[in-house]
Structure 1
């Protein structure tokens, strides 16, 4: 079996990843971006099923723990990345296929992939994933429209490359799921009563500290239960308690707040869908017509000179 088809680069954005999950057919889960990993950041996002970390790939970086190659691979879904640009989809699929939380329904397509390839070794799992036309089409549907390239160049060894990996707890241990490794990286046990997020936070901090001071090109996202579903569940519980007369104070506090959060999630998902439409839209005809009109009105050269002058002024301010 050979890996088939081209896979595009996709944006590290919670809306893109949430839409990607929906396109796979999975339900009950979404992605939220984290701007910090300070204490308390996860409190309003629980339950958190996994983390997706984007970082600048270092060619000779050693794994931060032992690489699993034993019979644990019979239970852990791990696929070797065998095709370029697929790491974003592989990271999210690895988290979904290892998640046993009742909120998460991975849907028929991912269920079929898992059942078909679970008995394979990691390389064959990677080939099975990359040859899934449904998954590849879903992945490529997240890309921004590119209608022409200017001065294309071949990537060199000095170009920066970025890579997605996943972190999640499985059977009481913390694992890093990196498709460029031979297997999952075992970060050790999660103690009784210990929160796995308290275990993973220092690991991510250490990884960030490997880079030079001033390097800020990282991105961390959390795979969490669908927020609207969580809020509606809490609201139903509070309404039930209030109806029974056991939680009357919630009428003036928690219930209005939950209704506001539910409305916010509806607005957010509508915004994600609108942003996806804009990513896919062909703006080139509009741009050509706009430039033609500006040229006909003798405004194009003047706007160009003004823009060049503003750029020069900005350059002087930086100096």
Structure 2
């Protein structure tokens, strides 16, 4: 497995990769209370969570993946872009790609991310992963972003922190029966999983993300190494 330097929560990566910052931006979410969520610039298109990997989480993740493989889950919109993570420590890049590609944001023509989208459009999740392994489009951006972080690059590249991404998508027909076109589903996109994870009906994106973060992640650890950022429309507020 290829291995990259662990990436901090660094939204400047997105701009260097091609996100047009006058049209969309990443910003910090300072808490999950309603008052703090209300401070986040709308519309929110995606959210990225950095969380500590614990033994309990790993056990629950594996059990859920096995259950979904055996029993299935609510159908996922087939147009959602997801790819498998096959590069160690690439979860930050994966989360940023999942957030931006699944949002209606603008990319600079001929930018790294636009080229990646064009190459991967008709590929499978594993083929996309192979392309990410072999393309030079993001490796240098990732390395520069990691080197420019606030923390020194660790001599040991193993890390117990991981990025995952949340987006919303329409609910596709189920068993051939059309559903309410306005029904949205909350999806978690994590390259370590076997595919997108359906987290239920999405009525209020940020509040629904906050509930999953509290119930699935925060509740099972005393570790406080969490951070959450949003991908919001428009330029970054001054």
- Shorter-chain TM-score bucket reads 0.7 to 0.9
Please, which of 220, 233, 247 is the counterpart of residue 228 of structure 2?
220
Q: CA 1:35–1:121 in 2, change beyond 3 Å: closer, same or farther? A: same
CA distance in 2, matches of 1:106, 1:118: 15
- Structure 1: give runs of 5+ residues left out of the alignment: 229-260, 266-319
The equivalent of 2:140 in structure 1 is 137
Query: What SS does structure 2 have at the residue aligned with 1:22?
Result: helix
CA distance in 1, matches of 2:167, 2:160: 24
The equivalent of 1:177 in structure 2 is 189
- Structure 2: give runs of 5+ residues left out of the alignment: 171-183
The count of corresponding residues between Structure 1 and Structure 2 is 210
CA distance in 2, matches of 1:20, 1:210: 30
CA distance in 2, matches of 1:41, 1:99: 23
TM-score by length of 1: 0.58
> Is 1:66–1:186's contact at 8 Å kept on the other side of the alignment?
no
Displacement, 1:223?
1.1
Please, which of 34, 38, 41 is the counterpart of residue 43 of structure 1?
38
Displacement, 1:125?
1.2
Q: CA 1:201–1:78 in 2, change beyond 3 Å: closer, same or farther? A: same
Q: What do you get for the CA RMSD once the two structures are aligned? A: 3.0
Q: How does 1:1-319 map to 2 (within 5 A)?
A: 6-12=3-9, 16-17=10-11, 19-27=12-20, 28-44=23-39, 45-58=41-54, 59-62=58-61, 63=64, 66=68, 72=76, 74-100=78-104, 104-107=105-108, 108=110, 109-144=112-147, 161-171=160-170, 172-190=184-202, 194-213=203-222, 215-228=223-236, 265=238
> Is 1:97–1:106's contact at 8 Å kept on the other side of the alignment?
no
> Is 1:122–1:182's contact at 8 Å kept on the other side of the alignment?
no
- Higher helix fraction (1 or 2): 1
Displacement, 1:181?
0.5
